[in-house]
Amino acid sequence: MDNAFKPSSAEHQLFARPRSPLEFATISHERRLLPADDDYEAWYTHDARANRSINDDVSTTKDGVKARGNNLDLGLVGARYAGIKQEEVDVHSATIATHTPHIHFVPDPFALSGPPTVHLPKNKTMVATTASKAAPEKWDDGTTDYVPARKAPVADNKKPHVTTQPITWSNWWQHVNWLNITLIVFVPIIGLIGSYWVPLHLKTAIFAVVYYFHTGLGITAGYHRLWAHRSYAASLPLRIYLAAVGAGAVEGSIRWWARGHRAHHRYTDTDKDPYSVRKGLLYSHIGWMVMKQDPKRVGRADITDLNEDPVVMWQHIHYLKCVIGMGLVFPTVFCGLLWGDWLGGYVYGGILRIFFVQQATFCVNSLAHWLGDQPFDDRNSPRDHVVTALVTLGEGYHNFHHEFPSDYRNAIEWYQYDPTKWAIWCWKKLGLASNLKQFRSNEIEKGRVQQLQKRIDQKRATLDWGVPLEQLPVVAWDDFVAQAKDGKALVAIAGVIHDVTDFIKEHPGGKALISSGIGKDATGIFNGGVYNHSNAAHNLLSTMRVGVLRGGCEVEIWKRTQFENKDMTPVTDSAGQRIFRAGDQVTRLAQPIKGADAA
């Protein structure tokens, strides 16, 4: 095998001894654990001597080798390589010295499954072992292998997840996500109690409201429309700002938030939807946060672009610091230094503001799927409503958003409330944003028309349009006349027999006029010979059909056209029912017969 790089003497020494990629020594003892994503947990280490993160922006070769500057990252799926799944895997960086290349092994979620291809000096091998079995060993440079203080717990994949078990009095506490319930329930309660003793000053109140909008935009314009949907491109300063204020909303990292939201769009209203409203309004609002979810049931989503964004990854790695700094420290220090209200900044600008921002965002998951209209599609639950828009900084036009998710707008009308859209537009004018994506109005209107047509079809299905002609019995002329003489008020119009017995007394033109057509062909009389009846009259007449005359004029022409499959096939709706538009009834002649006007 050819060498991927020319190793130094120290590197020769490092590779010479049998080591697993999971077992390399580290000079730095500082480790950072990222939240689990799908079925792996990735450990990231920090090179304290070089005072920089090793897993910086890197490029990937075909062999899964990531390299940047003096850093070399060999990617592998650590848990799979060790033959286990969903366990905490200790991955240590190997640092020879700051003046030599750094060797660092990390689990790579995008590497191919199976053992990685590792380039070694000739005649050198690696043996896979576990970190817990490695004994510390001293080296010539004075360093010693790092051995974990405790053995990492190994997950039992055969054991069912707690969510598969019914909630009982003995295990209910196991179903609760205590970290989330502390952050979004207990902490706000503490803030509410603290507000009883901490007075609210006007300047602090103004700051809390302004900072509420900034952190809210961090979620709506940043987490949501920029990173989750890539509906526009943002400059580096704008991305840093949105990542910072978004962290101040304390709703998770960009990477975690956008990944869940993409799964929500992909699997809307299904069991794989992380916050499906089908599980209940309360669950979609806050239940999915305070109760544990089985990660295997949440739908997958591609976040390759997020992993390649240095701002996203930096915030993800340093998320706890960002949350504390932007969520609590910044408002406290700002209010404290400028007008001396340290406690007010902490309680009102920090804790209570965070609570209201979180609840506003949660309304997008719940209220926007429950309240409002569905002008573009009603297959799923998203809805449009101005109340939701007011609460969520413009995210309330959710039916439009789910139909056109990559559009940077949620509200397309000038009068609709969407401050997030206005902010993005202003950033474009300032040169901070570009490539604002918009669906063509033609496609938007097509969706609107199709939904309107669907509603019309649903309404049409509830109306009485009379017995279809093809279902009526065929009656000979002599039989028609005979039945009329026997006392039935039968009238033939355009080859269709109608029973007007119950309508004679209600006829607007009088009883005598309609009685004169009984037992006769009244086509000419009905279509202008005496009176050119309205479209409503033709619709009413269709509900009185009882038969079709054999050889009857208009009906025979219609039937012959159907049989010959000519270009006069009736238009049907989405349910396959024939549509009778105004003036389209079979009893109506194309050219009315001229005659006397009705009195």
* Domain 469-564: top CATH class: alpha beta
- What would the DSSP string read from start to end of 159-198? SPPGGGSPP-TTTHHHHB-HHHHIIIIIHHHHHHHHTTTS
Between 55 and 171, the higher pLDDT residue: 171
Lowest mean pLDDT among 30-39, 371-380, 562-571: 30-39
Lowest mean pLDDT among 47-61, 227-241, 508-522, 533-547: 47-61
**What's the pLDDT at 22?**
37
**What's the pLDDT at 175?**
84
Which band of pLDDT confidence, cut at 50, 70 and 90, is reported for residue 155? Answer: low
Average pLDDT of the segment spanning 50-78: 37
Q: Provide long-range contacts, Cβ within 8 A and 24+ apart, for 149-158.
A: 152/87, 152/88, 152/89, 152/90, 153/87, 153/88, 154/84, 154/87, 155/84, 155/85, 155/86, 155/87, 157/85, 157/86
Between 35 and 188, the higher pLDDT residue: 188
Q: What is the average pLDDT value for the chain, to the nearest integer?
A: 77
pLDDT at 386 over 80: yes
Which band of pLDDT confidence, cut at 50, 70 and 90, is reported for residue 584? Answer: low
CA distance 418 to 395: 7
pLDDT at 119 over 60: no
Q: Provide long-range contacts, Cβ within 8 A and 24+ apart, for 14-18.
A: 14/94, 14/96, 14/103, 15/120, 15/121, 15/124, 15/126, 16/121, 16/124, 18/125, 18/126, 18/127
CA distance 73 to 45: 12
Average pLDDT of the segment spanning 390-408: 97
**What's the pLDDT at 423?**
98
CB 588 within 8 A of CB 527: yes
Between 578 and 233, the higher pLDDT residue: 233
Which band of pLDDT confidence, cut at 50, 70 and 90, is reported for residue 185? Answer: very high
- What would the DSSP string read from start to end of 110-156? TSPSSS------TT-------GGGPPP-B-TTS-B----SSPPPPP-
Which pLDDT tens digit goes with each residue over 44-61?
Answer: 333 333 333 333 333 344
Lowest mean pLDDT among 38-42, 138-142, 354-358, 473-477: 38-42
CA distance 428 to 2: 50
Average pLDDT of the segment spanning 246-275: 96
Helices then strands (H, E): number in the chain?
25, 14
Which pLDDT tens digit goes with each residue over 198-234?
Answer: 999 999 999 999 999 999 999 999 999 999 999 999 9
CA distance 319 to 312: 10
Between 326 and 477, the higher pLDDT residue: 326
**What's the pLDDT at 451?**
94
Which pLDDT tens digit goes with each residue over 426-441?
Answer: 999 999 999 999 999 9
Domain boundaries, given as residue ranges, for the chain: 9-133, 178-447, 469-564
- For 563, the token pair is 């049989």
CB 545 within 8 A of CB 496: yes
